[in-house]
A and B are shown apart, each in its own frame.
Chain A
């Protein structure tokens, strides 16, 4: 857990006070909506269909139990008793009143939570692997770097009025759980041939109207240079990206238009001027930030306590849950436990205040008070002792977050869609809910294996549909909801965009089509452990298209 110091506190308090003043000036009419919109977006306040929406940033997806309780409190007292975890490791409240916002923010500020730069044309939450700090396959904790970048990009005087939003993600493991290749800047911590640890720098990833996978512009950058290099990228972007057209203002368009090599040259040219200046990170600065990440005082425990094995034998449900939701931890005797926020029939990624409070208590009891938020809209308890798994499971099961469907067909990622969002063309949540009902059979789900369904209610792609194994995009045709379906997308280190299956499908038929796609996969796979996405890669979408559209 990163420990705030007095500087961080002062900053936050000053920000809350500034926003309170801005709300006052808006309510009195001193500020027009046009002027205020810019300012409220810098604090994560959107206007949606029914109310304001408040998006709270959860830096690198890490929450303390106290922070989770603060979120539960805000949901209970300023919202309708629940919150929604997003694809960028943040949380959203959908029923907020503007006049109550300063109080809600003051309350959250005391828990070190805020919405600074969670919206608007600013540098957004720096996201990372939800298993950071505990994953066995990571080189080092990427959250230290996420914090370094977070501080530097918070209320940066030069980069607070960018052409468009800017998203940065960092990974430090073989398997990219942070989807860095669909970010404006993706940073991959790795060791080079000489054994030094540094960053590969990728730019220009992003979804939306014109999706792109990020391009690598620098294979290795030493740690010392990370801030100056990011600064150089931002400066090139701020000056030269288009501002005349909302849909052409992301850095991915600039990189595409210039070409990755020409873009890289601009960045390198700018960087030469600043790399040895005040942004060069000396080891003392890095160490200071790293030292403020507290790690648990792990007990010396053995792997595979015998009680665990016998409990698994005795209780099949428990056993299935362990197989699905429990992952190896870098410390012997410990595990990483994922909580499914995708119950059958539920809106993906939502948690009630009561659930949040219960999870906070369980974090205190079983996970050293720490919780993570993943971009797949599930939660993680990152430090659970193997010997505690049974006790934890019973409690998780009781509050409905132990569905053993993680990574499977019913672990759906979806944006809020037209039920909430004023940008949407179509609903996404009811589609997800119906799909979880169609695929309620967990044996089938296990047989299907890893299968990510991503649903977006509009082309802004907050559901990341382009990189879903099955991607579903809501569109509007003659006042009716239709859905385009893509297959074969991936968000990990082998990121690629999905391919269109065929003509858009009406609302009532989406679940049928997905069932047919799944049935086709079962028929076409070479062997049971060829995953869905591998089958698509091998065969393309044609055989699926034939089967689906033949019957319609």
Chain B
């Protein structure tokens, strides 16, 4: 582990009971879902991680339960260090408290995570989809979402696919 992070990790472990993992030189701190806003605030104010450089989610379905990890990648410009906070969420209606009060840039990123993974953020000021059309059904980056929608057209199924294909109305 980066020696700059050791004290920070120890303090996060003591304060939040956070589990720590390392992968290829990156430090991941796992925080319980109800305390994520508190943990992000502590990282921002106490430990000087003022920049939320990325926020996304990972779907580990069907290997892991709970299936999603929401990932907050934080950067400290003054310390030249980066750290990753992770929250595991699952269930039919995965939900987290919003971090948009801590980092203003989390607003659109949470909208993207909602759009792509269907994870809701309680208290979000504007919880709409951001990328997909508003009438889209489902969340496309979930692993159980169908990948594409059309079979490739070859000679043996040419007519079948041509008939099934939608065509424009004149």
Q: Do A and B bind each other?
A: no
Tell me the A residues contacting B by CB distance below 8 Å.
none
Which residues of chain B have a CB within 8 Å of any CB of chain A?
none
